Amino acid sequence: MDETGDGFDRLRDASFTIIGLGLMGGSFALALKERGIGRQVWSVNRRATVIDRAIELGAVDGGTTNITEGVADADIVVLATPVRVIIDQLRQVGPHLKPGCLVLDLGSTKSDIVRAMDSLPAGVEPVGGHPMCGKEVAGIFAAEASLYEGAVFPLTPLERTSPAALDLAEYLVESIGAVPLVIEADRHDQLVAAISHLPYLTAAMLVAAAAEIAREDPLTWPLAASGFRDTSRLAGSDVTMMFDILVTNHEHVSGMLHRYRRHLDYLIDLLENEREEKLLEVLEQVWQDRHSVTSIQ
């Protein structure tokens, strides 16, 4: 990490461009402004009305719908759009970035983005990123300056990323209240398939199964209480965002679904064959595993 003060000076004097003013990009911009980071926070968004709203909220100093115009003077560019949009935007902005510009993304999967970043012009400094935070609601109206506080923020540098650029990215992450974690892109994607993407699909299929019963018996939903609400919460996530995540991490997600299916098949076997002692043993082990993970208590 940068402990010399150079990182602070670079952030304080930097011109930022945030591409995408949804929940993540809007919150990132608000965090910068609240902490006095950057001499200017500019924005790019496809809808001018969203930029106007962000200006009213004090999240940005201004913005444009023209992406190449928006990055021309930026010292630090943050891409906060869906994964496949990020990949397309990297191709668009590459020729228009200043030498030495730090490019950081907030995409939920990293391998495809890192490959796209490797095609940026020489002299541009790319670092992949994925803050482990969010909400089920989307858009600038849901943005909040405190969203990143305490969140683990994986960073996936490229071979071409200089140590100074990675230091600056870590310093930036810490400056908005998050906790940087440097990790290789494919390892990141494998792990988030287990602890983020599989939970979403589990919740989605839970809703699908319950909906089948609800079509047969209308008392299903009136009986649904906090247990169903809590376990199905992730099924309310933004569909477009989650679809993008799943198709860009399909190999690791498929692997986790196969692993999950093995556990389900075993559970079915225990229930159908009334193996009560073994069922209790499995449930107790799961209880212990869940309660041993202090980070999610």
Q: Hey, what domains does the chain have and what are their CATH numbers?
A: 6-183 (3.40.50.720), 188-296 (1.10.3660.10)
Q: What six digits make up the tokens of 114?
A: 């890192």
DSSP letter at 149? Answer: T
Strand (E) positions, 56-214?
Answer: 62-64, 76-79, 102-105, 125-129, 152-157, 179-182
Q: DSSP of 102-126, one letter per residue?
A: EEEE--S--HHHHHHHTTSPTT-EE
Whether 195 and 290 have beta carbons less than 8 Å apart is answered as no
What is the predicted pLDDT for the residue at 297? 59
For residue 228, what are the contacts with CB-CB under 8 A and spacing of at least 6?
A: 206, 210
Q: Distance between CA 90 and CA 5 in Å, rounded?
A: 30
Q: Rounded to whole angstroms, how far apart are CA atoms 281 and 288?
A: 11
**Tens-place pLDDT, residues 68-127:** 999 999 999 999 999 999 999 999 999 999 999 999 999 999 999 999 999 999 999 999
Helix axes 198-216, 250-272, angle to 10 degrees: 50
> pLDDT digit of tens for each residue in the chain (297 aa)?
444 457 778 899 999 999 999 999 999 999 999 999 999 999 999 999 999 999 999 999 999 999 999 999 999 999 999 999 999 999 999 999 999 999 999 999 999 999 999 999 999 999 999 999 987 778 888 899 999 999 999 999 999 999 999 999 999 999 999 999 999 999 999 999 999 999 999 999 999 999 999 999 999 999 999 999 999 999 998 898 899 999 999 999 999 999 999 999 999 999 999 999 999 999 999 999 999 986 765
